[in-house]
Amino acid sequence: MERHDGPTATLDAMRRIVAISPFASMTASEARACAEGFAEVSMPFDWRFTQHHGYLHGGLIGYLADTALSWAAASVVGDVLTSEFRVHLLAPGKGDRFLARGWVIKAGRRQVVARADVFAIEGDRETLVATATGTVVPVVAR
């Protein structure tokens, strides 16, 4: 995987940012991995973030996917912003915890294409509930 100039994100950096992000704090998100084009983030189930059937709301599933794929990109190119992402919801968000794993597909100078899978976890069982792709752009200092 091509490396770019400038600092790239690490697990320590991801943990610091997640700790000070109001939304990530509200969801009790936890940074679990961030290196070499891969990132992982998790959060516990919280009934406050459910839809009318009692499943985790799709917006939170999208948040997890976006976070994982963006941090995967940041581990290769440094600070990033999401340009677009698409989420395919595959199963209801039913579980004790949720885990998103993100990977870089292709990193260029102007954009990074990445993907993420989101899993619902109950005990030791993981169920794929969503898959996503996104385009992320490096932040250019002005």
Q: Residue ranges of the domains in the chain?
A: 11-138
Beta strands in 11-124 (DSSP E): 30-35, 38-44, 80-89, 97-107, 112-122
pLDDT digits (tens, 9 = 90+) for 11-43: 999 999 988 999 999 999 999 999 999 999 999
Banded model confidence at residue 82, pLDDT cuts 50, 70, 90? very high
SS3 9: coil
pLDDT reported for residue 141 = 66
- Higher-pLDDT residue of 105 and 1 is 105
Q: Is the pLDDT of residue 1 over 60?
A: no
pLDDT reported for residue 142 = 61
Pair of tokens at residue 65: 């996917």
**Which among 1, 139, 4 has a CA at the least distance from the CA of 79?**
139
Banded model confidence at residue 6, pLDDT cuts 50, 70, 90? low
Average pLDDT of the residues in 47-60: 97
pLDDT digits (tens, 9 = 90+) for 99-137: 999 999 999 989 999 999 999 999 999 999 999 999 999
- Higher-pLDDT residue of 131 and 3 is 131
Residues in the chain, overall count: 142
Superfamily of domain 11-138: Hotdog Thioesterase (3.10.129.10)
